[in-house]
Structure 1
Amino acid sequence: MEPILLAAAIGGFIVPFLNTLFAKYANFLQEKWIASEVVVADVKGISMTILKIQAVVSQAEARQAVHDHGLILWLRELKDAAYEADDLLDELNTTVLQLTEKRKQQRVSNSSADTISLGSKLVNRINTTRETLDRVVKEWGNFKLGDQLDDKPGGYPPILTNRLTGSFVDESKLVGRDVDKVKIIKILTSYDDERGDNKDAFILPLVGIGGVGKTTLVQLVYSDKRVRRYFHLRMWICVSNAFDARRITKEVVESASFGRHCETSNWDMLQRSLKEKLMLKKFLLVLDDVWSDDQVQWENLLAPLAEKMQGSKIVVTTRNSSVARIKGMMSPYILDGLSEEDSLSLFTHHAFMGKETKGIRVIEEMRKKIVEKLNGSPLAAKTLGRLCNSKLGKNDWKDFLKTEIWQMQQNDSDIMPILKLTYNHLPAHLKQCFAFCSVFPKEYDFDKEDLVRMWMGQGFIQSGDKKRVEDIGNEYFDHLISMGIFLRKQDKYNLQTLVLLQCESLKNLPEGICKLTNLRHLKIDRSLPSFARKGRQTKVAGIGSLTLLQELEKFDCTDHRIGELKEMNELRGCLSIRGLENVESETEASKAMLANKRHLEILKLKWSRMDIVSASSELDLRVLEKLQPHPNIRKLTIARYRGINTPCWINKAMPSNLKVIKLHDCPYLKQLPSLGHLFFLEKLEICRMYGVTKVGHEFYGNTKEVKFPSLRKLSFCHMPKWKEWSARKEDQSFPCLIELFMKNCPNLETRPSFPPEVRIIEVCGTRSARS
């Protein structure tokens, strides 16, 4: 592998890994375990050495000393040592846990036994690991980079010196941007009411990958005489690494003052000064090399420009497409690469110093291959041209494409430093994801889902409290695309979102829709009179083939076999299954595999009829038994269930994370299920349970813990036969209850007492029951 990519790969992996490893050691040291002072000191020493190595590796990346093969070998050795420290910590955790449990079983209470003996083999491994890490740190000094640690406060060097750009350009050396130049000048010099897009937008984002020529093109536009005549004032600011609204505002004020130094750093005074400088002036402001899409920083910067003179414009050059979504932006101008002719022209200019090349037959023969290498990038054309001019002799051209042209160190104006700059701007967790891609062949076509799964398998994705790991991985991938690191390849067979709006005559979706196997979102507007209003939102032939579908609010068993849900395990949010009376057996119900739908948060199980109890009652019980959801469910609704009893999972294996339960229209149910053990349950609605006459200990459950520990709202509605509500005196229950709502419970005679802070609402035929 090429040295730059190799070092990036190793460094990209190891930096976030060290962050995690240090956190794991810190957590381990906080646990209550006691070993000999020497062992504890060694473990602490390993932790502190890891902390030192973090700074060292960060410096290795920042110094970009990636052409030193000795440094690459050192990084490999460091990676091995870090993995050994991680394995050691796993063994330590396991051993301490085993010994602690063993000590508990033996009920040892004397103080001498409080010290855990880890065994000589493990103690020696701890000592060896510490010595290895210490040696790795010492070897860092051999690269003679450590003496530069104090250049900056805190000892950390900058990642890269900010790239500097200005408004001047040598137009005689420019190729292939005449059409783009005319288009942009037309946009900038047209009045706001002449544009078809948002008339309030006055910022033109120029978006393109690194090295495509964004800055050069804007320099051309900025210097054009039509632009100079149109604008009263022109200003050029190179933003580069840090988007600091205060710094940028100050530079704009100085530029508007024709270089006069601005003394103040007071934010309010800077904003007032900027507003005053630009008042009654039609200005052009260029913000070159912008990376940030921080909405707050942008709002702070643009606030003084709210009363700008009509016709004023701001041009932003960026490789981050998300910048174009900031409020106030026009439609982005996407800058593509040069044509094949222009790419080759620029290449030959730099390779032959402007000499004629038509007589050089080998150039003509290799024309197509050279253009493929350039890929439309002006920077690549200049870089390759200069390389060939300085390195190749007359007879060496055929060997040109066989060599690894990117191995050589290049100047900061060339393509590899720009690619490295993009890499340096990535946070640590994205660096390792990007570095991982270097193990694949060049021009490899990545599949988003496959790559995210590989990142997951490597442990690169930081899990979140509410988001699933796959979604976080998709955000990583999209971020890399927006930074121009990945290029999106168009694929007409990769439709992921289908939205149908204002389709007045739509009656059925085409049968072939099931072939859209990558479809994730299917939205059918509820206003469609002939489709959605008839409850046919899910009447999609072969819907079970859409295994990546993430949104499906309603699934009607009148139109589909419930088994079609079997492989649809990417569903999330809310799923309402209707028409369950159409499910013919428990075998058919089990094919839905609801227990595998781990991304669902809300599940609604609904029958459509409440008549015919006999045979239907027993079938409903068997069907509901097979519809046990995944433990991640937060809200559960069961409606129009015709069974006399509830299935086992409702009483014994109800999802423990449930926050809301609604039991509606279950007329033949004789008693309520046991729900008192659900720790997170906050809201419980019980409605139209015509068969329930008594609520007692079966409702609270047999657990000795506090019953309904988190319940805040409890509702009973339309229960005409309910007479008694009792609870055992020794049971503690409802400590968090704030509202008890009771409606149309006319025969209820007794109920438990509640503290005065509980709001009790009894309406519509509910008499005040005795406590």
Structure 2
Amino acid sequence: MAEALISVLLEQLASIIHQQVQQQVKLVVDVKKEVANLNDNFRAIKAVLKDAEERQVKEDSVKQWLDKLRDVSNEMEDVLDDWNTEILRLQIEKQEKGGNTLDTTKKKVCLCIPAAFFCSGQVSRVIFRRDIAINIKDLNERLATIAKMRQDFNFQYTKGGTEHIERQKTTSFVDQTFGRVDEKELLVGKLLSESNPEVQSPLVIPIVGMGGIGKTTLSQLAYNDEKVKANFKIRIWVCVSDPFDELNIAKAIIVALDGNVNSLSNDLEAFFQCVHKSIEGKKFLLVLDDVWNQDYKKWEQLKLPLQNGAVGSKIIVTTRKEEVARMMGAPDNTINLKVLSDENCWSLFARIAFTNRNQDECKTLEPIGKEIVKKCKGLPLVAKTLGGLMLCKKTKKEWQDVLSSEIWELHTMEQQVFQPLLLSYYDLTPMIKRCLLYCVTFPKDHVIKKKVLIELWMSQGFIGSVENKEKTMIDIGESYFDDLVMRSFFQNFKEDKFGNIKQCQMHDIVHDFLQYLTENECLIVEFKGGEERIELPNKLGHLTIMFAPEGRFPLSFDHCQRLRTITTFNCKITSLSRELILQSKCVRTLNLSRNDIEEVPDEVGVLVHLRYLDLSENERLQKLPDSLCNLVNLQTLRVDWCQELEKLPEAMGKLISLQHLYAKGCRRLKKLPDKKLPEAMGKLTSLQHLHAQGVSGLRLPKSIARLKSLRTLDLESVVIEGSGDEEGLRLSDLRDLDELQGELEIKLVGELKESAASDAEKAKLVNKKHLLHLRLWFYRGERDQSSIQEAVLNALQPNSNLESLEIEGYGGSTLYYPNWTSSLINLKSLTFSRCDVWKYVPLSVLGYLGSLETLRFEGMEQVKKVGFEYSLDHQVILFPNLKQLQFFEMREWEEWDHDENDATSSSPTCFMPRLSTLSITYCKKLKTLPDFLPRKTPLLQNLIIRLCDILSQSCKDRQGPEWSKISHIPNITIGWKTVQKDGVWIEQED
């Protein structure tokens, strides 16, 4: 970790020297010489750091030397950051005085003093800068001593620094079922077996085994088995971990049952009563993953309300402890998971390590690989980790070096599984090492959101400078994340609707490993009730607080001078003291989300190093102090779901480093008289991402159009004033925002004026080549605006790179699809929603979109026919890559319109050859299925027909007039009807 920090400091010092030469300005008195000395000392130390960081595991003296180096380096980073902050403040002052905006895109640190500064009479600042010079000199003396001490250890020198490993295009998303086929069948058999009515339900099935052996994976395989899903309509997964919290488990069960926990007090009895009632008479499968607690009273208390479920309900419990399985009273049903055989370990390892290698390479490396696999000791996690490591190794020598590593000789490690993790850790670049270690600030089993994680890395300075102007720090962070994914440090991935990873988790063993490496720097404090006095280490860098009770912030930081991170999870903190803020002056990351904070003290403005501030889900928070705008280094501000927050500070233009602003679900923002964000936001020249979903009626100021660096506009309601409102953002104001990327939603609100089409053309969506996902929403007013809407839609032609398009509320009647549809050669997903004027849907017009994979029509309430005009006199493939075709809530739809002759003859037209899923939901008047299903969709695997009364009857009991068309499809779901229960209409299987 020291290696990465020193790399950053060397980069900063290089910037200082660059500024001196480039701008011909004088440094603070006596600093020029110190900068040169610092540069020499850091470079001398950096040359031995790779060897030192590997030796610290087994040599305590080396570890102490590295600790001293980290202390000095951290202090130096703070000093340089102080100076950079002063430079930013000068830029803001010049802006406010009407001067030209200074370039804020230069290197991070500039230790120069503008000549004009000395004419300003600001004596206090001169003193402050002289203090910086004194601190640099003092730190340099300490650093020189440390640099000299390195000679006592006979370190191996690294020439040219640490080599950056070339990232592979593929990752280690592999099937983890190697060697677990028998265990899976055993578990599924237990789940599907009929329960003895005389035995108390639910039946508990414990899975016991050591960490990393695959208990959770086995449970997931059974949980997602099709037969199991068919047998248990209610399935609930709860990560338990330690401590065993019955209240949180009960909450998770209620939420999984689509219950609302907000109406319940935090009384345990109330939650148990709710669980008891929610599962009454229902057969359920509950997984309690990673249970440690052996307190029978707690288990019995939780089990009692679960006994109200139907006979046949089952509970899977995964645990490392035999005592837990016995305590739960299920010795006969326990599955003791054994280690994998060498053969199965090899299969898992080779599947990853030999990705994208030719046969000759595999044959050469296989003997070494099989010796490496013997080090796995039968643990799947280790096999995956080593596979990810060897994927990056190209030569036979590199493979042999891993096999011969001294790491395998360590016997003092807390767990043997740490050995391969250490190998993978040491193989990372210095920057990525820091990023990985920071993940220990999350609790075990925490769901880590990728975007949040990258912003946290940025806040700590873990992402280096961006040399490629086409890339941002977020882009670099994503490459770091991908590297860690490839090496199996993350697992349990979830993707967004576009197939990109949005969240993940860490295995417990990986978390333990990171805690081992950061034991003196990172600390997780858990409050367990009652008065607790906790002493924090003086050199603590990152603090995580869990389960803090209602009241004031529970800790003091008066001894923690270098605290960089304060983050809370599952806490109920209501207030922050002035003293607490003043004790946290070095903090870069402050996460106080999901508390009950009512007010942020004005003193928050002194946290000049702060880069990341998260106040999300503090529902009582009504305002942010104006002093917040003094945080000139702030990069990320999150106030999502602060539902009482009324406005953002007017002076936000001072936050010239702000890149990410999140204000989702701040519903009271819409109650302001003008419903507009501050006009000063136009000065946020660094802003790249603006998120405010769930803020209905929010208006964007025209000044937003000046933010040419803006990449994301993720807003819920009024994105564009379609009426041409002079005060709000117009379509034409998007013309210069060519860096927009990801997803954009344009909502045209109010009745469109004649000028709307001209504005739409000026928006130049066709130039926004990074925009991949577009949603266009048209307002349906009282007047007929079909011709204007057609003109506007045609003018909003996107770039051909677009991957998904959704059009909602479109009222054009003579033109069904925009005239630029055929240009979307990369379009994968297309949705039409609430286009109520349409009475007919011509499908074949879209058949030439060669990349299209998903096509959906939703809420088209006037449509009576859907047309398949596919009869042609030449060979053609329509919808060549379409995999999913969906129809939802088309209440008047009665029939398919197609050429009957073509449906029965040998047509040269190939139609939807790759269609795998056809879904028809809530189309009550539809009478038939299309005739092309038996002949032209050979890959069709899934047919879903729900809430389609007439069509369901035509296929009922595997007979009827329509059954012959679909009898060849493997997976068919037919049924579901709406019934009234307790005064509410709900869906129920037919």
- Flag whether TM exceeds 0.5 (same fold): no
TM-score (norm. length: structure 2) = 0.31
- Structure index of larger Rg: 1
Greater fraction helix: 1
TM-score (norm. length: structure 1) = 0.38
Larger RCO, structure (CA 8 Å, separation 6 or more): 1
